[in-house]
Amino acid sequence: MKAMVLHGCAPIETSPLQLEDVPDPQPKAGEIRIKVETCGICRTDLHVIEGELPPREGSIIPGHQIVGTVDIIGKGVRRFRPGDRVGIAWLRHTCGSCKFCLNGKENLCEDQLFTGYHANGGFAEYATVEEDFAYYIPESYSSVEAAPLLCAGIIGYRALKRSNCKPGDSVAIFGFGSSAHIVMQILKYWGCKVFVVSRGKKHLRHAEAMGAYWVGTSIDGMPEKVASAIIFAPAGHLVPQALEVLEKGGTLSLAGIYMTPIPQMDYERHLFYEKNICSVTANTRQDGEELIKLAAEIPIKPDVEVFPLEQANEALQLLKKGEIEGTGVLVIR
């Protein structure tokens, strides 16, 4: 099969992903193999490629927002049959028996594995996964539209839950990329008042077009404080700023898997009055199922920019520069 392979971490500007012919993966017992149709690109892919996440030994095929059709099932598979359209997300394995797994917190399992990091992902013609970690894709979504739901959507949804946001609340979003533009659609569905802070003028125009109540390049001029805030940008310097615009008792959710250092904060100015900070670590499968159901109900329609598989480096370069509106999606032909 054709795949974009990473042999060693390097800046994306050096185009480190190499288009290669590699052996087709074969499903083990309990696994399914899918013929990949689309795979979304994500800032986490950049963190893997550029070494901001601890580098893994050997080569890896990135990509963890995968949509395709089951073509082979392994021994013992019961949930899926050849021809089913499914999705593969970031979380691909947990132990199922630790205290976290047994208490609805499998995203904290010590033995968890991730797609495109611990195991080959979707920048390829085929991918495998344990059947219990795959998702049915609603018929109402094309494969291009569905891909962003599998990380941008799922992680955005978990970040929204962690922010303690309720329908009708006021919410501030910092950074307006792939996850944020999906969360925006949930917030508008919930009747929330949304404030968006982003350094990118293109992203601010996008947020405004989607119905943001207020947009700005900084918190200066934000007309009121908010009940919840979510930081999607991997920028630690935004944490004190977000806390400043929180109401008493408000919650800040940190959505990224990686963040630059957080500067020193003043207790009374930033944290007093029972303000809360919640990080986000991966997701549970329940998060994924809830998001996919909600997405079909609203319905969420991700904005996408499409690229062929062999342009994965170029697409990720655009993502890094903030030049993609919505989500970049690789199409595997």
Q: What is the pTM of this model?
A: 0.95
- Three-class SS state of 84: coil
Per-residue pLDDT tens for 51-80?
A: 999 999 999 999 999 999 999 999 999 999
User: 186 to each of 41, 50, 183, 192, 332, how far by Cα in Å?
Assistant: 21, 31, 5, 9, 29
For the chain, give the mean pLDDT: 97
Which residue(s) pair with 93 in the sheet?
A: 113
Mean pLDDT value across residues 254-277: 95
Provide DSSP, 164-231.
Answer: T--TT-EEEEE--SHHHHHHHHHHHHTT-EEEEE-S-HHHHHHHHHTT-SEEESSSTT--S-EEEEEE
What radius of gyration do the chain's Cα atoms show? 19
What was the pLDDT predicted at 314? 98
- Say yes or no to pLDDT of 321 above 90: yes
Which of the four CATH numbers 3.40.50.1100, 3.40.50.300, 3.90.1170.50, 3.40.50.720 does domain 154-279 have? 3.40.50.720
Considering only CA atoms, which of 175, 77, 187, 60 is closest in space to residue 127? 60
Mean pLDDT value of segment 251-266: 96
Residue 254 β-bridge partners: 231, 279
pLDDT band at 241 (very low <50, low <70, confident <90, very high): very high
pLDDT computed for residue 328 by the predictor:
98
Residue 174 phi/psi, 5° resolution?
A: -110, 115
List, for residues 143-196, the tens digit of each pLDDT value. 999 999 999 999 999 999 999 999 999 999 999 999 999 999 999 999 999 999
Average pLDDT over residues 4-14: 98
- Do the Cβ atoms of 302 and 182 come closer than 8 Å? yes
**Average pLDDT, stretch 81-86?**
98
CATH class entry, domain 2-149+283-331: alpha beta
Q: Is 90 exceeded by the pLDDT of residue 313? A: yes
pLDDT of residue 333: 82
Helix axes 178-189, 201-209, angle to 10 degrees: 20
Indicate the pLDDT class of residue 100, thresholds 50, 70 and 90. very high
Q: Parse the chain into domains and list their residue ranges.
A: 2-149+283-331, 154-279
